[in-house]
């Protein structure tokens, strides 16, 4: 990765929240992710040798082992349930979520879950669905954020969840939410990433604030720090089922448990769920800037004593 891609975000954001007469200002540290490592992780996870990472396959296992090895090398702890969480998936396959954990320094009893699914569609005949955008991009972003928070310990406890078997049923996240490694009442927020690496419009959606309007102000305060267009939406069912992404990725499993979420993702592109969703098609500059923005959002949210 070219160093010119490394954008230094402004060092402070001030978020003002008025409570009666008292004004509380919250500073957020700059987030600097490792762009070269991010692209290396993306390239491995979307490589054709993983044959599309379909749940239950050898390529899926290679992706899982890679993510687990990266969690290990970062020194990420395991939740009580362990690094791997197995569950029954379709066609007698066994799905496996990969989990990492950092205990909060100030509010250890409140858990945030940062998530991305690592599975994809596999192969059909000789066509390999490498799923670079969907969702090697979110998985590599998850690793980058885990690395950053390991270096900059969070106030809240954070579970980093690489979910399996999202394609065709959100099965990994459903299992996680039904069998959480901590009391589900302690999970207060989900940040989900799915398709975050390319957009002809230089745009990404932060979805979920229709359901949880109190989260919109945090996105508003991040927006001036990035050249990416960050748009709220795709979460209002009254605009039609096609427009509403509420049930379209793993954040839905948290929403069903009344856990607030923000989902980051781009609009569908011509390569969506096609063999052409490849590493080469990823806009590396856009992708890195998006990851920085999402990291900044996570850091800002972590600074809040309570999300309200």
39 or 165: CB nearest Zn ion: 165
Compute the least distance from the CB of residue 83 to Zn ion, in Å.
Answer: 22
**Which of 231, 248 has the CB closer to Zn ion?**
248
DSSP 210: T
| β pairing state of 187-193 and 261-265 | parallel
Q: What's the chain's length in residues?
A: 308
| Given 41, 51, 194, 250, the residue binding Zn ion (CB under 5 A) | 194
How does DSSP classify residue 273? T
Count of residues engaged in binding Zn ion, rule: CB under 5 A? 3
CB 88 within 8 A of CB 172: no
Which residues within the stretch 253-292 sit at the binding site for Zn ion (CB under 5 A)? none
**If you search the block for the tokens 């379909």, which residue do you land on?**
54
Minimal distance, residue 266 CB to Zn ion, in Å: 11
DSSP state of 207: E
Stretch that binds Zn ion, among 144-152, 192-200, 232-240, 268-276 (CB under 5 A): 192-200
Q: Does 207 bind Zn ion (CB under 5 A)?
A: no
Helix, strand, or coil here: 187? strand
The helix, strand and coil proportions of the chain, stated in percent and rounded to the nearest 5, come to: 35, 25, 40
Interacting stretch for Zn ion, rule CB under 5 A, among 23-31, 95-103, 189-197, 297-305?
Answer: 189-197
Q: Are 158 and 308 within 8 A, CB to CB?
A: no
Min dist. Cβ of residue 277 to Zn ion (A): 10
Site for Zn ion in 107-146 (CB under 5 A): 134-135
Nearer to Zn ion, 34 or 194 (CB): 194
Q: Which residues are at the interface with Zn ion (CB under 5 A)?
A: 134-135, 194
């Amino acid at each position: 990765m070219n160093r010119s891609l490394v954008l230094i975000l402004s060092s402070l954001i001030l978020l003002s929240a008025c409570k009666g007469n008292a004004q509380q200002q919250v500073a957020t540290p700059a987030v600097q992710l490792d762009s070269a490592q991010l692209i290396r992780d993306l390239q491995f996870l979307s490589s054709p040798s993983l044959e599309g990472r379909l749940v239950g396959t050898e390529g899926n296992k290679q992706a899982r082992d890679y993510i687990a090895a990266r969690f290990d090398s970062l020194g990420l702890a395991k939740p009580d349930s362990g690094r791997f969480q197995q569950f029954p998936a379709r066609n007698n396959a066994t799905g496996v979520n990969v989990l990492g954990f950092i205990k909060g320094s100030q509010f250890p009893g409140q858990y945030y879950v940062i998530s991305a699914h690592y599975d994809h569609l596999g192969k059909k005949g000789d066509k390999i669905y490498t799923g670079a955008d969907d969702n090697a991009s979110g998985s590599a972003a998850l690793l980058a954020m885990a690395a950053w928070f390991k270096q900059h310990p969070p106030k809240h406890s954070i579970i980093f969840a690489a979910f399996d078997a999202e394609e065709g049923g959100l099965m990994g996240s459903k299992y996680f939410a039904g069998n959480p490694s901590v009391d589900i009442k302690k999970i207060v927020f989900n940040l989900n990433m799915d398709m975050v690496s390319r957009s002809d419009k230089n745009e990404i959606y932060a979805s979920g604030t229709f359901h949880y309007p109190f989260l919109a102000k945090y996105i508003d305060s991040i927006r001036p720090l990035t050249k990416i267009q960050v748009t709220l939406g795709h979460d209002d069912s009254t605009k039609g089922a096609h427009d509403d992404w509420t049930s379209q990725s793993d954040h839905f499993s948290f929403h069903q448990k009344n856990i607030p979420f923000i989902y980051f993702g781009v609009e569908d592109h011509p390569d969506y769920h096609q063999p052409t969703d490849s590493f080469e098609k990823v806009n590396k500059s856009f992708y890195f800037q998006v990851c920085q923005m999402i990291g900044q959002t996570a850091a800002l949210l972590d600074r809040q004593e309570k999300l309200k």
